[in-house]
Amino acid sequence: MHEHRLIYLRRYDTVSGMKPGFFDKLVDRLDHLDKGSLQTYFLRLAREKGLMETIFQALEEGIIVLDSGAKLSYANRAAESMLGFKFEHAAGDRIQKYLKDIHWDLVLDLDEEEWSQLVRREIEITYPQHRFVEFYVVPLSAVDENEEGAVVLFRDVTRERQTTADSIESERLQALSLLAAGVAHEIGNPLNSINIHLQLLDREIGYLGNEEAVEELRELVDVSRKEVDRLDTIIRQFLKALRPSLPERKPQKLETLLNETLEVMQHEIRDRRMLVETDFATDVPAVMVDETQVKQVFFNVIKNALQAMGDGGILKLETDLTDRFVGVVVEDNGSGIDPDKLGAIYEPYHTTKAEGTGLGMMIVQRIMRDHGGEIEINSEPGRGTRLTLRFPREDARLNLLIAPEKEA
């Protein structure tokens, strides 16, 4: 009987995080404890376990406990969310089922010196979401020499990596902007001069007596002027994409800006025989944005969707709401984007369409970054693309502090 109690108590010892010495003393005194004292000890143990369980479940970091066979014996909610399982169904599964790139049997077989040299490692996972996770492993023997197995601690570092990437990209664009401004100035002046001389040439051609020659020469001049205008447009678009422009923020309803953008594009939508489906959430608060810039964002992403679908496609527009963001979703059933090309869509002059300029998404990225927003793109070749724009809520901080009302 006492041996059974010892096993039971030691199991709780691992989960509760209490010092092993407490249980050693308790076991030594089992023969001398009356029923009331024993009940008191067990109530204390239950309270400690409940407290630790509450703390573990509240953590943003994932916690997994493995037994000596690398099987799951505990996982908190954060670990479930990161790795895409429910512990009630996954208990007893080998960790390799969820993290396949790690030789867990070798990890659990490390000796004390090797454990001390184990450093944190960052891995990339694709299920249930694409993210980067930093983890490190602590042997249970560090807590109780009689225990075998390990605790695996996870931390989602996707946002940190994205912030670092955005910072690097911002510095790159700033340097590119300075270079582009200088190049644009050097090219712009000769273009203006060429345009002026083409106008003078067109005027002088009119004095020629040969009408056939006049018509032929004017055609050549027109071609030249159109090419000069095209170069000038490219330069202006490039500078617009690169130059930082502080947004003039005012409270705006994103649904209103979307509808106004659709009105501007209604002729193209009608000509392409597109079907537009909208699903706007109710009670979406206004956000502080620059009206002109955000309309430019909507125009660019909707234009991309229309071009990706060809004629007769279905364009879906949605708004949604989270504690931190107001989201706008633009979804098409077009050609989709190859996964290998997704990372390059913000590069200048990168385009997957014959009629594209390759600057639209670069402008979208800059404007969203200036607004403190986020862009998420999910695309499947042959199925279409779903693009989500997230704008920060002004009331986000207050929203997080207010507990939701309980249903009666």
Residue 393: exposed, middle, or buried by beta-carbon count in 10 A (0-12, 13-18, 19+)? buried
Q: How confident is the model at residue 269 (pLDDT cuts 50, 70, 90)?
A: very high
Q: How confident is the model at residue 303 (pLDDT cuts 50, 70, 90)?
A: very high
Which range has highest mean pLDDT (169-178, 210-219, 258-267, 394-403)? 258-267
pLDDT given for residue 392 in this prediction: 92
Angle at 327 between CA 321 and CA 332, to 5 degrees: 125
- Looking at residue 71, the DSSP 8-state letter turns out to be B
Span 332-344, average pLDDT:
81
Q: Is the model more confident about 244 or about 386?
A: 386
In this structure, of 231-240, 258-267, 275-284, 398-407, the range with the lowest mean pLDDT score is 398-407
pLDDT given for residue 15 in this prediction: 42
Q: Give φ, ψ of 131 to 5 degrees.
A: -160, 165
Closest-CA residue to 330 (of 246, 408, 272, 262): 262
Closest-CA residue to 328 (of 404, 397, 386): 386
Q: Is the model more confident about 350 or about 269?
A: 269
Span 190-200, average pLDDT:
87
pLDDT given for residue 397 in this prediction: 47
Question: Which is it for strands 325-332 and 314-321: parallel, antiparallel or unpaired?
Answer: antiparallel
User: Can you list the alpha helix ranges (DSSP code H) found in 206-271?
Assistant: 211-242, 254-264, 266-271
pLDDT given for residue 28 in this prediction: 63
Is the pLDDT at 40 greater than 80? The verdict is no
Is the pLDDT at 32 greater than 80? The verdict is no
Q: What does the pLDDT look like over 86-104, one tens digit per residue?
A: 999 999 999 988 888 777 8
Taken in order of first residue, the domains within the chain and their CATH numbers are 2-156 (3.30.450.20), 161-242 (1.10.287), 250-399 (3.30.565.10)
Largest CA distance in the chain: 127
pLDDT given for residue 317 in this prediction: 96
Strand order in the sheet with 62-66: 72-75, 62-66, 150-156, 131-139, 121-125
Tell me the helices (H) and strands (E) count for the chain, helix number first. Answer: 15, 12
Mean pLDDT of the chain: 79
How many alpha carbons fall within 13 Å on the CB side of residue 395? 10
pLDDT given for residue 72 in this prediction: 94
- Taking residue 324's Cβ as centre, other Cβ atoms within 10 Å add up to 16
Three-state SS at 121: strand
Q: What does the pLDDT look like over 223-251, one tens digit per residue?
A: 998 888 888 877 777 776 666 677 889 99
Is the pLDDT at 294 greater than 80? The verdict is yes
Decide: 62 and 78 in contact? Cβ < 8 Å: yes
Buried b (16+ CB within 10 A) or exposed e, 209-234: eeeeeeeebeeeeeebbeebeebbee
pLDDT given for residue 30 in this prediction: 62
Q: How far apart are CA 96 and CA 154, in angstroms?
A: 15
Three-state SS at 265: coil
